[in-house]
């Protein structure tokens, strides 16, 4: 009886939770493995019982889109199962994210490395947009990095289908530093261009190694943007003064990108400038970005496997693969193979803990705005 419940129990048995690696507002993340193969996985356990309206919208969105999207540059959802009142998403395990890589001061980025990360980001995003899906929360820490260097777009908790013309969408999306000016002005009809702005900010951050437009409040975010790019004129961005939450935050002169990005090539700055055009309709699309001369000019993008790695990644990669597989303890006790692997694991855990507190801080920041 209850074939559905039986199938669920069978699915659940395929995966083992090993260790808690992080906790967010609505989910707990565990590192785990596939019982049969020992393959590393991550399990995102979403607490459902606490919501009076049942399954939470973020969970619904994440599951809905990840079930449909299969692409090398989008995180893979391997399975979904439920346990009591929790929803468990089994995701491919990814070592680190772009934010950690950017913050690792020991790493040096070559222009070819940045080009490689940008190409992978645009590929993943182009696939989302081709499927009419807006991500609405792109930022370095949602761009995860696999052990082979592949970049994968993750966290679809704010994603949605592009609305039909004439239907409103909420403007309370995208983490502030990566939020485009039309959303800050309360625009309720927007497009895939909102994600492109975020990618532009990430592009700049890869070159600067610090966030490009770190506003302290929504109002300050607009000021920060205009200070960097000049206050838009009505000619540059027709109609923006009529947007619902439009406010004048002062006149700032336009300074050439070249002044800040002194080492960047002409192609680089051209693509960057097209991602952060004020008028959303003129912003470059993900598809056109992939055809931009930047990606065809020397230096060619670094092969993902040769991209800069954090210490934790390098240590993890230096372990022979069979050591990981062979030492798996099917009884589910303490993670085996601790001998050699302990230092990197500790490091990784410390990093994720650190990362976690930062996430929460930023999230609170975001809702308070």
Annotated active-site positions, please? Answer: 137
Q: Does 6 bind another protein (CB under 8 A)?
A: no
Is 25 known to sit in a ligand binding site?
Answer: yes
Say how far residue 296 (Cα) sits from the centre of its chain: 25
Closer by beta carbon to another protein, 39 or else 287: 287
Is 182 known to sit in a ligand binding site?
Answer: no
Q: Does 78 bind another protein (CB under 8 A)?
A: no
β-pair partners for 143: 153
Name which position in 64, 103, 227, 362 contacts another protein (CB under 8 A): 64
β-pair partners for 16: 33
Q: Does 123 bind another protein (CB under 8 A)?
A: yes
Q: What is the DSSP letter of 276?
A: T
Closest CA to 79 of 121, 36, 108: 36
Q: Does 354 bind another protein (CB under 8 A)?
A: no
**Torsion-angle region of 239 (φ positive above 0: left; ψ -120 to 50: alpha; else: beta):** left
Closer by beta carbon to another protein, 250 or else 333: 333
CA-to-CA separations, 237 to 171, 234, 240, 241, 345, in angstroms, rounded: 18, 5, 6, 9, 50
For residues 177 to 216, the per-residue mask of contacts with another protein, x marking binding by CB under 8 A and - elsewhere, is: ----------------------------------------
The residues near 160 (Cβ < 8 Å, ≥ 6 apart) are 61, 133, 134, 136, 169
Is 44 known to sit in a ligand binding site?
Answer: yes
**Which one of 120-128, 146-154, 264-272, 319-327 is the stretch in contact with another protein (CB under 8 A)?**
120-128
Is 22 known to sit in a ligand binding site?
Answer: yes
Q: What is the DSSP letter of 155?
A: -
DSSP codes joined into one string, 53-110? TSS-HHHHHHHHHHHH---TTB--EEEEEEETTEEEEEEE---EEHHHHHH-TT----
Closer by beta carbon to another protein, 60 or else 260: 60
Please check whether residue 345 is in contact with residue 327, taking contact to mean a CB–CB distance below 8 angstroms: no
- Please tell me the distance from the alpha carbon of residue 169 to that of residue 188, in angstroms, as a whole number: 5
Is 317 known to sit in a ligand binding site?
Answer: no
Name which position in 35, 60, 249, 356 contacts another protein (CB under 8 A): 60
**Residue 4, Cβ neighbours under 10 Å: how many?**
8
- Please tell me the distance from the alpha carbon of residue 114 to that of residue 140, in angstroms, as a whole number: 13
Q: Does 314 bind another protein (CB under 8 A)?
A: no
Closer by beta carbon to another protein, 131 or else 241: 131
Q: Does 300 bind another protein (CB under 8 A)?
A: yes
Is 32 known to sit in a ligand binding site?
Answer: no
Please check whether residue 16 is in contact with residue 83, taking contact to mean a CB–CB distance below 8 angstroms: no
Please check whether residue 174 is in contact with residue 137, taking contact to mean a CB–CB distance below 8 angstroms: yes
Contact positions with another protein (CB under 8 A) in 267-296: 287, 290-291, 295-296
Contact positions with another protein (CB under 8 A) in 235-264: none
Q: Does 360 bind another protein (CB under 8 A)?
A: no
For residues 14 to 43, the per-residue mask of contacts with another protein, x marking binding by CB under 8 A and - elsewhere, is: ---x-xx-------x-x-------------
Name which position in 40, 129, 136, 160 contacts another protein (CB under 8 A): 160
- Please tell me the distance from the alpha carbon of residue 103 to that of residue 116, in angstroms, as a whole number: 18
List the binding residues. Answer: 21-29, 44-45
List the binding residues for ATP. Answer: 21-29, 44-45
The residues binding another protein (CB under 8 A) are 1-5, 7-8, 17, 19-20, 28, 30, 45, 48, 52-55, 57, 60, 63-65, 67-68, 70-71, 80, 82-87, 110, 112-113, 119, 122-123, 126-127, 130-131, 160-161, 287, 290-291, 295-296, 299-303, 306, 333-335, 338, 342, 346, 349
């Amino acid at each position: 009886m209850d074939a559905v419940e039986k199938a669920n129990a069978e699915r659940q048995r395929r995966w083992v939770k090993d260790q808690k690696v992080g906790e967010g507002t609505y989910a707990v993340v565990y590192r785990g493995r596939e019982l049969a193969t020992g393959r590393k996985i991550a399990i995102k356990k979403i607490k459902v019982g606490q919501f009076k309206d049942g399954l939470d919208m973020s969970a619904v969105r994440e599951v809905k889109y990840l079930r449909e999207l299969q692409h090398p540059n989008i995180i893979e959802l391997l399975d979904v199962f439920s346990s009591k009142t929790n929803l468990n998403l089994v995701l491919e395990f990814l070592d680190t994210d772009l934010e950690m890589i950017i913050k690792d001061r020991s790493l040096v980025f070559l222009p070819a490395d940045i080009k490689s990360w940008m190409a992978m980001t645009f590929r993943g995003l182009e696939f989302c947009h081709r499927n009419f899906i807006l991500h609405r929360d792109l930022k370095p820490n949602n761009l995860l990095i696999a052990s082979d260097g592949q970049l994968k777009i993750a966290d679809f908790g704010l994603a949605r289908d592009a609305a039909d013309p004439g239907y409103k969408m909420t403007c309370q999306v995208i983490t502030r530093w990566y939020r485009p000016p039309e959303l800050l002005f309360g625009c309720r009809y927007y497009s895939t261009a909102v994600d492109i702005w975020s990618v532009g900010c990430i592009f700049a951050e890869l070159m600067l190694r610090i966030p490009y437009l770190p506003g302290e409040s929504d109002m300050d975010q607009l000021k920060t943007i205009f200070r960097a790019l000049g206050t838009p004129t009505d000619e540059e961005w027709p109609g923006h003064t009529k947007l619902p939450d439009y406010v004048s935050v002062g006149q700032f002169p336009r300074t050439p990108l070249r002044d800040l990005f002194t080492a960047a090539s002409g192609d680089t700055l051209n693509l960057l400038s097209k991602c952060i055009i004020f008028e959303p309709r003129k912003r470059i699309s993900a598809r056109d970005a992939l055809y931009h001369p930047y990606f065809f000019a020397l230096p060619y993008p670094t092969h993902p496997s040769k991209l800069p790695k954090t210490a934790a990644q390098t240590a993890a990669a230096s372990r022979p693969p069979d050591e990981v597989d062979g030492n798996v303890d099917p009884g589910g006790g303490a993670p085996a193979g601790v001998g050699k692997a302990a230092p990197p694991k500790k490091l990784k855990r410390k990093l994720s803990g650190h990362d976690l507190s930062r996430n929460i801080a930023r999230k609170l920041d975001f809702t308070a705005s």
